[in-house]
Amino acid sequence: MTIAGSPVFDVVAQREPDQVSAGGSRTWSLRGRNFVVAVTELEAGDRLTEHDLPDEHVLLVQDDVGVDVDHGGVVHVSEPALVVVPAGTSAVQAAAPTTVVRVFTSRCAEQVRRAVNHAAGIDPRAAPLPDPVQAVDGIRVHRLSDVPDEEGRLGRIFRTASLMVNWFPVHDGPRDTERLSPHAHGDFEQMSVTLVGTYAHHLRVPWTPRMSEWRDDRHVEVGSPSMTLIPPTVVHTTRAVGAGPHTLVDVFAPPRQDFLANGWVLNAADYRETPL
């Protein structure tokens, strides 16, 4: 597992897992101001339990080994899917070894505490989470096989009351280096999670009047799985490297209003834009 991230991306490290269960599952966690991403190499029969969460969270199931999600009743997921799990106590168990990704809000104090960078503080340039909006009840399973490709739509974007996840379709081979997309976000962080393949993150800190704040450009190559936290204002673009399939997921919080306005959010109807 590769973890990268700091306010000026000065830390790029291969780390030991921050959690190892009795069953042998290994978990790596990294936080931004508003979210925590946890990647778990889940062993067969091992059980990941989260207690009394104040918010919904997201579970990414990336293969067909069979994953059970228990939230006062078990839902079986047998193919790649994004699962929205309600607040409260829940558990995840797999029939065979697999890697799962979970995304929590920063209101989940125990999940924040587990993050490898929990003591680093928060980036003040990132706007805080607003009050969550009203959601429909129950576990919602969004199977990727139910999402056809659509010309003009960016990726496969889903939301919760407070989170947004863009799970890009599989990309075969390297990205065209003459068609990259450098851009920056003024007041929110982006977590890029690679699930399959090798990627290069290209990162540039804009100059300020204070030369002491200038940083050299970084070109960080990561394997899979990996997590890279991209701070506000940092110019960035990411490209697939090498042959074979590549899979990338971007995480944001709160949900991006531009994605909602463009009609790209596949489960937008599950939410009402009124605070709880």
> How far apart (Å, rounded) are the C-alpha atoms in residues 113 and 126?
19
Instruction: List pLDDT tens digits, range 142-151.
Output: 999 999 988 8
Q: Which of 6, 8, 4 is nearest to 210 (CA)?
A: 8
216: containing domain = 157-267
Domain-located, residue 273: no
Domain-located, residue 79: yes
| Cross-strand partners of 265 | 157
* H helical segments located in the chain: 109-114, 257-261
Do 163 and 132 sit in the same domain of this protein? no
Do 24 and 138 sit in the same domain of this protein? yes
Do 85 and 185 sit in the same domain of this protein? no
Statement: residue 84 has pLDDT above 50:
yes
> How far apart (Å, rounded) are the C-alpha atoms in residues 26 and 43?
8
Per the CB < 8 A criterion, the answer to whether 4 and 12 are in contact is yes
Statement: residue 131 has pLDDT above 60:
yes
> How far apart (Å, rounded) are the C-alpha atoms in residues 31 and 110?
12
Domain-located, residue 91: yes
Domain total of the chain:
2
Predicted structure pTM score: 0.94
Domain-located, residue 77: yes
Domain-located, residue 14: no
Do 161 and 133 sit in the same domain of this protein? no
CATH number at residue 210: 2.60.120.10
Domain-located, residue 6: no
